[in-house]
Amino acid sequence: MNESILRSALAGLPVAQIHYFVETGSTNDQARMLLEQGAPDGTLVVSNAQTQGRGRLGRTWVTTPGAALAFSLALRPSMPEQNHLAFFSPLAGLAVCQALQLEYRVAAEVKWPNDVLINRRKVCGVLVEASWLGSRLQGVVLGIGINVGLAAVPPDDQVLFPAACVEQALGRPLERVELLAAVLRQVFSLRSALGSAAFHTMWQEHLAFRGEEVRVDWLGPGETVDGQVLGIDPNGNLRLRLQTGSEISVAAGDVRLRPLRTGL
Ligand code: BT5
């Protein structure tokens, strides 16, 4: 991977700038910095390796050189899009699912709110961050990390949820730039549907563990709730039916979701 390979693979997409690093701390940090310096909508940062790859809530994202795809897309949402900021995160997860499904015939699901699973194992994580100047939104950064090759997959004892890679499911080697182009095509196409009923339907159709029992852990107070996954409400909250029969909605944030019955 290098800048000129990226440029030709992404030709025709509304990518305004491409910044390629052989190694960087975090592509999200680079993209936020570029936004703060005035970079336009569609600025893309790609790195072959990250030394400080970030997950949510201060967690670490492992990015193995040569085998992982790590990139961040800086966007400047329009006023209408700013009403749906919370949906940029599922948009990124959905885009990866759609790319895998439509372009590679690999079945993928979204573990609410936005991890991507293949065969119930995590192949992709999403970290969306907004950048504010006082009360004015400067932009959002869609950070996406995908395990492409086997070397990208951390061992089971180093991850909170079992991990896998795309090549395992595909059964053949895959060029990272090719997958990047496929995901970006889906990002830009889903962007025009952000917050719509069609977007919501697609999110529900890709939802993992639907109808199954899951456990949700709130990381703050250490509270736990078990329930059956019913779907996603119009605000993007996860709908659960509790054992008592009552229904609750869980907001994304400081929560961790896992299946109760699993062979993994
Ligand atoms: C995420 O956080 O899954 C979001 C990861 C986002 C990474 C991208 S890469 C490009 C951009 N630049 C960044 O610095 N970040 C973004 P979370 O849901 O908090 O999951 C983090 C947890 O996933 C870790 O605590 C590990 O348990 C596990 N993990 C770490 N690396 C992994 C990997 N390569 N594959 C699968 N699981 C991993």
Return the CATH number of the domain spanning residue range 3-205: 3.30.930.10
Q: How far apart are CA 51 and CA 26, in angstroms?
A: 7
* Domain 213-257 in the same topology as domain 3-205: no
CATH number of this structure's domain 213-257, picked from the four choices 2.30.30.100, 3.40.1160.10, 3.40.50.12500, 3.40.50.10860: 2.30.30.100
Tell me, in angstroms, the distance from the centre of ligand 1 to residue 54's CA.
Answer: 6
Pocket (CB within 6 angstroms of ligand 1): 26-28, 50, 53-57, 59-62, 70-72, 115, 122, 125-127, 143-145, 147, 152, 154, 159-160, 163
pLDDT score for 175: 97
Q: What is the pLDDT of residue 245?
A: 94
Q: Please give the Cα distance from 52 to 136 (Å, whole number).
A: 28
pTM: 0.95
The pLDDT tens digits for 144-173 are: 999 999 999 999 999 989 999 999 999 999
Atom of ligand 1 lying closest to residue 47 CA: 10
Residue-range domain boundaries for the chain:
3-205, 213-257
- Report the atom number in ligand 1 closest to the C-alpha of 159: 27
User: Other CB atoms closer than 10 Å to residue 113's CB: what's the count?
Assistant: 24
CB 54 within 8 A of CB 61: yes
Q: How confident is the model at residue 253 (pLDDT cuts 50, 70, 90)?
A: low
Confidence of residue 10 (pLDDT cuts 50, 70, 90): very high
Q: Mean pLDDT across the stretch 185-191?
A: 98
Tens of pLDDT, residue by residue over 65-113, are 999 999 999 999 999 999 999 999 999 999 999 999 999 999 999 999 8
CB-count burial class (<10 Å; 0-12, 13-18, 19+) for 210: middle
In the prediction, which pLDDT does 263 show?
Answer: 45
What would the mean pLDDT of 188-210 be, rounded to a whole number? 96
From 30, 61, 117, 140, mutation site for ligand 1 pocket: most ligand atoms within 8 A of C-beta = 61
pLDDT band at 264; cut points 50, 70, 90: very low
